Amino acid sequence: MSHSATHTRTLIFSPAIRIFHWFRALSILILVITGFYISWPFLVAPESNDVQVQSYIRFAHLVFGFLLTAVTLVRFYLFFFGKSDIERRSIQDVLSVKSWLVQLRSYLWSGHLHKAGVYGPLQFVTYAAISFAALFICITGLVLYANVYHLGMGGMMWEPAAWITAQMGGLAEVRIWHHYLTWVFIIFTVIHVYMAVWSGIRFKHNSVDSIVSGYDYHKK
């Protein structure tokens, strides 16, 4: 039987939102792995100095770091200026105490989750926080970059990077914050994947498939 006999469907995530979601997921995965390797380069016990493992891993970190930086900026732009207001509408729920109670109760299996936009208030606040964490890890990453590459883009960023380094109390602090923030992404990802699967089971729609196909299905 086709889905149209039993369900209606609505497009909730545009192609741009879906593509950027998976770009972010891929870049975060690679950045966590390569970042931890940069921090603890355990593979190298060279006989000579002609061993490039660390350089290749740092190169991959930078490529995906710049990808994440670009996606983070575009995603902020789309949130505020994208054609669909389905994400922006969730702000109404964030500002409503009742919506918070409805969401928290629905998580305890009591009542339904009614939302003005596509996210519940707790979900929205979590995504806003991780978006700012992404901004911060990109800024600290770019500061670390500017301190190693003094020409081209690194050179262009030198002055703001030096200012941020001074504000943060030195380059060691920038590096340690970049490292701490890595754990924020690891913890977020575990909870995020769990909640995406769980909410599909709990609410029977708007689950993992919607960030692939874009569609949300409702029983008729």
Residue with tokens 């409805």: 102
Smallest distance from ligand HEM to CB 166, Å: 18
Q: Quick one: tokens of 143?
A: 């500061």
Nearest to 10 by CA among 210, 200, 199, 201: 210
Give φ, ψ of 204 to 5 degrees.
65, 15
Asked if 144 interacts with ligand HEM (CB under 6 A), we say yes
CB atoms within 10 A of CB 99: 21
* Alpha-carbon 2 to chain mean position: 34
Asked if 131 interacts with ligand HEM (CB under 6 A), we say no
Asked if 65 interacts with ligand HEM (CB under 6 A), we say yes
Which residues ranging from 101 to 130 are in contact with ligand HEM (CB under 6 A)? none
x/- mask, ligand HEM, residues 163-182, rule CB under 6 A, reads ------------x--xx--x
| SS3 at position 10 | strand
Cβ proximity to ligand HEM: between 86 and 144 the closer is: 144
CA gap 82, 88 in Å, rounded: 9
Smallest distance from ligand HEM to CB 165, Å: 13
Asked if 62 interacts with ligand HEM (CB under 6 A), we say yes
Please report, as ranges, the residues that interact with ligand HEM according to CB under 6 A: 28, 31-32, 35-36, 38-39, 58, 61-62, 65-66, 68-69, 137-138, 141-142, 144-145, 148, 175, 178-179, 182, 185
